[in-house]
Amino acid sequence: MNKSDFFTADAVKPHFTYDDYCESADMIASHLGDFRPEVLLVLGSGLGFLGDRVEARTCVSYADIPHFRASTAPGHEGRFVFGELRGKRVAVMQGRMHCYEGYTMEDAAYACRVIRLLGAKTMIVTNAAGAVNTEYSAGDLMLISDHIKLFDFGPLWGPNIDEFGTRFPDMSNVYSPRTSGGVCGLIRRNAKNLTKA
């Protein structure tokens, strides 16, 4: 290995292929019959119980899915829960992969592409996080409306897979204004405070 190899994405780890994503999606689909999710709900710390509220559910362990990584964070079940939640067909991730677990961003984003192949067009991600704003309190709800990427590499690193879209996707509406507006209305109707970041 040459010194320059340490600075290339291809030297670090093999990349997933479209066939890898399809193999994972096909394995999951074999457990779901005609069910196809419309929403992917990625649960962060403290919200794993929502997966237990899914009705007519089917659970698929990450360990059984080809090419999937294990979720090692404490309290993360490491499985998908498929079914209905509040009238929506959902795929709920009870646990996810994190870069601090030693995974690449491509590993961490893998499940999102697999569930997209199964039909989901909306993704909602939750997490527990701290903040430097002293006006925030523990337990506040926050709606993230934009972000600044401070990492060296992202999930688009490596060869582009044309089946998932262009090399450089439009990032102007990554956080859907329609979905964000719906979340804001729901929070207000339930008399909760919401902070936007």
User: Look-up: residue for tokens 């991730």?
Assistant: 93
pLDDT band per the 50, 70, 90 thresholds, residue 89: very high
Q: What is the model's pLDDT at position 28?
A: 98
pLDDT band per the 50, 70, 90 thresholds, residue 7: very low
Summary count for the chain: helices (H), strands (E): 4, 7
pLDDT tens-digit series, residues 160-183: 889 988 888 888 888 888 888 887
What are 70's strand-pairing partners?
none
Report the mean per-residue pLDDT for the chain. Answer: 84
pLDDT at residue 98 greater than cutoff 80? no
Q: What is the model's pLDDT at position 67?
A: 94
pLDDT band per the 50, 70, 90 thresholds, residue 91: very high
pLDDT tens-digit series, residues 106-157: 888 899 999 999 999 999 988 877 778 888 887 777 788 777 777 666 667 7
For 111, how many CA atoms within 13 A lie in the half-sphere containing its CB?
A: 30
pTM of the model: 0.82
For 197, how many CA atoms within 13 A lie in the half-sphere containing its CB?
A: 14
Q: How many Cβ atoms sit within 10 Å of the Cβ of residue 67?
A: 15
